[in-house]
Amino acid sequence: MSVQQETHGFQTEVSQLLKLMTHSLYSNKEIFLRELVSNAADAADKLRYRALSDADLYQGDGELRVRLSVDTDAGTLTISDNGIGMTRDEVIEHLGTIAKSGTADFFSQLSGDAAKDSQLIGQFGVGFYSAFIVADKVTVRSRAAGFDADAGVQWESAGEGDFTVANIEKPQRGTDIILHLREEEKEFLDEWRLKSIIGKYSDHISIPVEMWQEGEPEREEGGETIPATEGQWQPVNKATALWTRNKSDISDEEYQEFYKHVAHDFEDPLAWAHNRVEGKQEYTSLLYIPGRAPFDLWNRERQQGLKLYVQRVFIMDDAEQFMPQYLRFVKGLLDSNDLPLNVSREILQDNKVTQSLRTALTKRVLTMLERMAANDADKYQKFWGEFGNVLKEGPAEDYANKEKIAKLLRFASTHSDSSAETVSLEEYLSRAIEGQEKIYYIVADSYQAAKNSPHLELLRKKGIEVLLMSERIDEWLMSHLTEFDGKQFVSVTQGDLQLPESDEEKAEAEKQAEEHQALLSRFKASLGDKVKEVKISQRLTDSPSCIVTSEQDMSSQMVKMMKAMGQEVPEVKPVFELNLEHPLVAKLEQEQDEARFGKWAELLLSQAMLAERGSLEDPSQFVAQMNSLWLELSK
Ligand SMILES: Nc1ncnc2c1ncn2[C@@H]1O[C@H](COP(=O)(O)OP(=O)(O)OP(=O)(O)O)[C@@H](O)[C@H]1O
């Protein structure tokens, strides 16, 4: 008997997800069981946690477990737990909406191409809704811990546009998920098939997953009477929390499956580190590097962090205090013996134990990445492709580990002709030329702009490698990364390059500066306060001129970034550099007409500004000047 039946529509994204799932996950249908058992285990964890402060919640039933049962006549498979359960409001909220921020954006990216979308959906996680991969109707009966039998609720849906909810009597606490299997999915009624799926995906779940074992009548065997046995629920998984077992007893597959449970991911992780620490601090950690960035990695409201256990008892999901922001992609768990069982987010916030755990775990992740980089370059490259831009936040956030993080960075460079970020700083230094004391880099709007920048000309000629950066985060990174292995970073668009040069070269440069002092002064007089200074360039071979910013000023790239964020930026006057070898500059030196000289000088400056900044304050003036000179020349 049910009362107060209501019909609700699914949130649009849920309807989209349901449609997509049935089309794109057909090749790996059995994962629905992993997802539902994983939810049941989470529900047990949550109840155990709540019961720490209110033992009455167990209502005399503290043996938490999941049970699978089949009804071959009805064609149903039921996954039943005695965990925390759900109230009517919770059922409506949790099984009708997706509570992740950024979900709508995510769905707007889907292409309609099943193969592509199934890749994306793995990033998203399907959880409960995976029930509809194999069922054409799903009934959920739940009763929240702490309520009486008449507070049960029933949810039912055919997975199309809507679901119904009604109040019911439910004698036991917890949740039953009843799958009305599609005609072609009846294989999931088979006991052996179910056992093998549980063995494959759910061995590591810390509560028992049980199936009913029929009793046997009394029988005679070899003249002996074997007494009748009664039917009973039998566990079919190992039911010990994976991280409490010995490393040597755990297979890679088990680690991988456990990852999918804690991370709600579909794909295998790239690497993991499982450590038990005893002594002053006692804890076990199991940390994973995912194989792919989640869809909401850059979403500020995204939940992140480790699952926290205290003495084997689940305390909370997404404990973000144990990892710095720049390692926010790390998944896994921490089981501490030093934190109190009643620990809350507030207590964690400024707690000494938290601090030292965070330091230790950060180090573990960095070591894991170092190992990956050293032992499996391909894998590391995959990691870098997914999470490199997050790791670049590291030097700004974590001063103590700056050098370690710097070693893990990868860049594009003039050494290869590819935009792929593969060059490490150690590799860069191993190719430094004789006398090169600096690490040269350029930050530009795109790889092409960086690669073709006139500022690189002389360095190219001298065979000095330059790191080419063009990600949004790079300017920020470089404002915090000032040296590596005792060598300073130098932006090729800023200040003095301090290139290695011989005594003759030095003497030659000084001589040139003296000889052409008049030209420099003429330029300065003509351009006035449009420029800070006019200099002979050390960087150019092919271009006539370029602008650079002096070391104390904000770089052009930083100015652009601040402006894009709507910030006021003080005007930065460029240093104007001339290439004396260039015929245009040589010609100008001969120019007698001061007015004409002025026009040429302006034009050169505008060109250099355009090449460096990508835009001009007054583009139409530039065009007019150009046209007028052109006309004059063509006379
Ligand atoms: N067996 C259950 N007992 C109690 N609550 C449950 C159960 N199954 C699901 N829920 C509730 O429904 C919510 C949604 O479940 P769902 O599996 O869709 O997402 P999730 O587990 O939060 O994350 P993911 O989608 O990544 O698996 C859960 O967070 C939980 O609150």
Name beta bridge partners: 489: 439
Q: Which residue in the block uniquely carries the two structure tokens 């935009």?
A: 419
The structure tokens listed for 416 are 């290869």
**Span 78-103, pLDDT tens digits:** 999 999 999 999 999 999 988 777 78
Closest CA to 68 of 188, 171, 184, 159: 188
Judged against a pLDDT cut of 70, whether residue 1 lies above it is answered with no
Judged against a pLDDT cut of 80, whether residue 18 lies above it is answered with yes
Q: Whose CA is nearest to atom 23 of ligand 1?
A: 127
Q: pLDDT at position 485, please?
A: 95
Measured distance CA(537)–CA(547) in Å, rounded = 9
Q: pLDDT at position 612, please?
A: 83
Measured distance CA(314)–CA(496) in Å, rounded = 57
Give the nearest ligand 1 atom to 39 CA: 8
Ligand 1 pocket, mutate which of 11, 17, 37, 42 (most atoms under 8 A from CB): 42
Backbone Cα Rg of the chain: 33
Closest CA to 299 of 106, 27, 20, 30: 106
pLDDT, average across residues 51-58: 93
Cα 493 → chain centroid: 31
Q: Is 80 in the pocket of ligand 1 (CB under 6 A)?
A: no
Architecture label for domain 242-385: 2-Layer Sandwich (3.30)
Q: pLDDT at position 44, please?
A: 95
Q: pLDDT band at residue 545, thresholds of 50, 70 and 90?
A: very high
**Span 122-158, pLDDT tens digits:** 667 778 999 999 999 999 999 999 999 999 999 999 9
Q: pLDDT at position 323, please?
A: 96
Q: Which class for 276: exposed (0-12), middle (13-18), buried (19 or more C-beta within 10 A)?
A: middle
- The CATH label, of 2.60.40.1250, 3.10.129.10, 1.10.10.10, 1.20.120.790, for the domain at 516-548+573-634 is 1.20.120.790
Domain ranges of the chain: 6-214, 242-385, 411-491, 516-548+573-634
Q: pLDDT band at residue 114, thresholds of 50, 70 and 90?
A: low
Q: pLDDT at position 346, please?
A: 87
Q: Report the alpha-carbon angle 271-201-261, nearest 5.
A: 55
Q: pLDDT at position 223, please?
A: 85
The structure tokens listed for 250 are 């755990």
pLDDT, average across residues 15-36: 83
| ipTM of the predicted assembly exceeds 0.90 | yes
Q: Is 210 in the pocket of ligand 1 (CB under 6 A)?
A: no
Q: pLDDT at position 144, please?
A: 97
Give the other-Cβ count within 10 Å of 29's Cβ: 17
Q: What is the CATH number of domain 411-491?
A: 3.40.50.11260
Q: pLDDT at position 525, please?
A: 92
Q: pLDDT band at residue 297, thresholds of 50, 70 and 90?
A: confident
Measured distance CA(383)–CA(368) in Å, rounded = 12
| Burial per residue of 462-474, b for 16 or more beta-carbon CB atoms within 10 angstroms, e otherwise | eebbbbbbbbebb
Closest CA to 169 of 142, 204, 139, 200: 142
**In whole numbers, what is the pLDDT of the chain averaged over residues?**
91
Closest CA to 180 of 156, 213, 212: 156
Domain 6-214: top CATH class: alpha beta
Judged against a pLDDT cut of 90, whether residue 182 lies above it is answered with yes
**Span 501-536, pLDDT tens digits:** 778 888 888 888 889 999 999 999 999 999 999 999
Measured distance CA(101)–CA(297) in Å, rounded = 11
This prediction has a pTM of 0.82
Judged against a pLDDT cut of 80, whether residue 118 lies above it is answered with no
Give the nearest ligand 1 atom to 264 CA: 26
Binding residues for ATP: 35, 39, 81, 86, 100-102, 123-128, 175, 345
Q: Write the CA distances from 291 to 268, 270, 273, 276, 468, integer angstroms.
A: 6, 5, 14, 24, 26
Q: pLDDT at position 122, please?
A: 66
Q: pLDDT at position 324, please?
A: 95
pLDDT, average across residues 401-430: 96
Whether 139 and 178 have beta carbons less than 8 Å apart is answered as: yes
Closest CA to 339 of 389, 291, 281, 252: 281
pLDDT, average across residues 194-218: 91
pLDDT, average across residues 194-212: 91
The alpha carbon of 51 and the centre of ligand 1 are apart by a number of angstroms equal to 20
Q: Is 152 in the pocket of ligand 1 (CB under 6 A)?
A: no
Cα 187 → chain centroid: 38
**Span 355-410, pLDDT tens digits:** 999 999 999 999 999 999 999 999 999 999 999 999 999 999 999 999 999 999 99
Judged against a pLDDT cut of 80, whether residue 256 lies above it is answered with yes
